Amino acid sequence: MTRRSRATALVAATAIALTACSGGGSDDGSVELTMLAASYSDNTKKLWEEVIAEFEDANPGVTVNLEIQSWENINDVIRTRVQTNKAPDILSIDTFAGYVEDDLLYSADELVSQETIDDFQDSFRENASVDGKQYGFPLIASARALFVNDDLLEQAGVEEPPTTWDELYDAAKAITESTDAYGYGLPLGSEESQAEAGIWFLGAGGGYGTPDKITVDTPQNLEAARFMKRLYDDGLTQPDAGATQRTPMLDQFIQGKFGMAMGLPPIVGMIEEKNPDLNYSIVDIPTKDGEKVTLGVADHLMAFRNDEDKTEEIGAFLEFFYQPENYLKFVETEGFLPVTKSGAEESTDEAMKPFLELLPHAQFYPSTNPAWATAQAAMQSQIGLIVSGDDPKQVLSAIQAEIDNA
C-alpha cells in the first residue's frame, strides 16, 4: 500500500470512529474545534476553509471554527487567549517552545500516527522537538539558495556557478570587473542580517549554537565574518552593504544589478511578476569546502491541551491535512516548500526543486533558546559593523557579550 493510500485509509477509519464517539463534544456527540491561523497571503483563509470543508464532510459531527489573524496581530491575540484560558485547539504560528515549557501542548505522538511523524523531513522534525519529543507540526518551509544571473556570469566569462567560497570570490570579481553589476549582493542591514550572516557561518561549519547555548564568537564564525569583509573590502559587493536591507537588494537583483545573491522561494514568484525575462539559475549555497548546507525556517501547527479531551478529533484533522493531495495544494499555493517527504516526492513545481533538494541539509536558528531573541536583535544591529571598519572579532565578541548578559 502506498503512503497516500495508507493515509487515506487512516483518515477514513478515524472518521468512522469519530462518528461513534462523544469525547470532548456536546450531548449529541458533535465536537467543535477552534483554530487560530496566521495569514500568509490573500489565499490563506480560502485554503484553510477548503481543507476544513473537506474534513468536515469526511467527519460528520466535527466542526472546525477558523479564525485568521495577520502576523502583526497574532502574537498579541494568542498571548491574550492563553492568559485568559481560551487557547484555540489548533494554532498556526512560528514558535512553540514557550507553550511546551508551560505544559500547554500535546506531543505529536499523542495525536497522530508514527507514519505521519516519520513523513516529516528529519531536520524539520528535530527542529519541532524539545528535549527529544516533538510538539510542533512543521507547516511550511523556507530555505536559502544562491540566485545567479546567468547572463552576467556569461559576460564575465564564468562558466559554472560557484560551489566554494574561493569560486564565489573569483566569480564576483569577474562580474564586478567585466559588467556594470556588483558581483555579490551582501545585505547586512537590520532587516534580516542574522540570516545572511548565518548562511556564511554555516558555510564555515559554524552557526548560532544549540538550544542549550548560543555561541556567536566561534573560530568558524569569525572566518566567515572575515570572508564577508573581504568581499566588501575588495569592492565585490555594493558600497553600502552594512546598511543594505534584504528586500530592496533582491529587487535590484531581479532588475539585473547583481550577479549573485542569497534568496528564498518567494523570489521565484517576484521574478515572474517583475522581470520574467531574467535569465537566472538557483544553485546550492557556496561554502568554504563545497559541503551542502542551507538555512531552514519553518512555521508550525500545534495543539493545546484545553479542558476538553479532543485528541481524536484534533489528530484526525492533522492526519487529513498532511495527506499529500491536501498538504501540497496549501503549501504550493502559498509559495513555500513542503516539509514532508511525501510532499517533496509528489511536488511538480520545478522552480522549487533546488530548494527541496537542500531541505535535508537544513540547519536552523536555536529559536527554542530563550536568549535567541536577544541574539537575533544583536546580530541585526551590529553585524553590519564588520564592513564599517570594525574588527570582525571585536564585533562578534560584542554580540556574544550582549547575549551572555541578557
The CATH number that applies at residue 347 is 3.40.190.10
Check: CB of residue 33 under 8 Å from CB of residue 306.
no
Tell me, what's the pLDDT at 350?
87
**Distance from C-alpha of 389 to C-alpha of 213, rounded to nearest angstrom:** 29
What is the phi/psi pair of residue 280, to 5°?
Answer: -140, 165
When divided into structural domains, the chain yields a total of 2
Let me know whether 51 and 133 are in one domain: yes
Query: Up-side HSE of residue 166: CA atoms within 13 Å toward CB?
Result: 2
Residues 163 and 245 in one domain: yes
Which whole number is the average pLDDT over 166-174?
Answer: 98
- Mean pLDDT computed over 63-80: 93
Work out the pLDDT band at 11, boundaries 50, 70, 90: very low
In the predicted structure, residue 197 carries a pLDDT above the cut 90: yes
Assess whether 286 and 309 both reside in one domain.
Answer: no
Which one, of 196, 189, 161, lies nearest residue 175 by Cα?
161
* Amino acid (one-letter) located at 138: P
**Same domain (yes/no): 207, 192:** yes
Angstrom distance (rounded) from CA 332 to CA 349? 8
Give the helix/strand (H/E) hosting 37: strand 31-38
Q: What is the pLDDT of residue 14?
A: 45
| DSSP result, 83-115 | HTT---SEEEES--HHHHHTT-B--GGGTS-HH
Same domain? For 344 and 278 the reply is no
Provide the pLDDT for residue 16: 37
Write out pLDDT tens, residues 370-384.
Answer: 788 899 889 999 999
pLDDT of 285 over the 90 cut: yes
Instruction: Please check whether residues 237 and 266 belong to one and the same domain.
Output: yes
β-partners of residue 282 are: 147
Residue 367's pLDDT is: 82
Cell of 174: 569577474
User: Given a cut of 80, is residue 401 above it in pLDDT?
Assistant: yes
Residues 306 and 334 in one domain: yes
The pLDDT tens digits of the residues spanning 227-280 come to 999 999 999 999 999 999 999 999 999 999 999 999 998 899 899 999 999 999
Domain around 206: 148-295+365-404
Q: What is the dihedral of CA 106, 107, 113, 117, to 10 degrees?
A: 130
Say yes or no: 177 and 68 in one domain. no
Considering the domain architecture, whether residues 178 and 223 belong to the same structural domain is answered as yes
* Phi, psi values for residue 142, rounded to 5°: -135, 140
> Cα separation of 262 and 195, whole Å?
10
**257 and 160 in one domain?**
yes
Give the pLDDT band of residue 125 (cuts 50, 70, 90): very high
pLDDT digits (tens, 9 = 90+) for 21-32: 334 455 567 899
What is the share, in percent, of the chain residues with pLDDT greater than 70? 93
What's the pTM value of the predicted model, to 2 decimals? 0.79
Please return the burial class of 239, using the count of CB atoms within 10 Å of its CB with bins 0-12, 13-18 and 19+.
exposed
346 and 288 assigned to the same domain: no
Q: Are residues 350 and 392 in the same domain?
A: no
Confidence of residue 369 (pLDDT cuts 50, 70, 90): confident
For the chain, give the percent of residues with pLDDT over 90.
75
Report the distance separating Cα 131 and Cα 103, nearest Å.
13
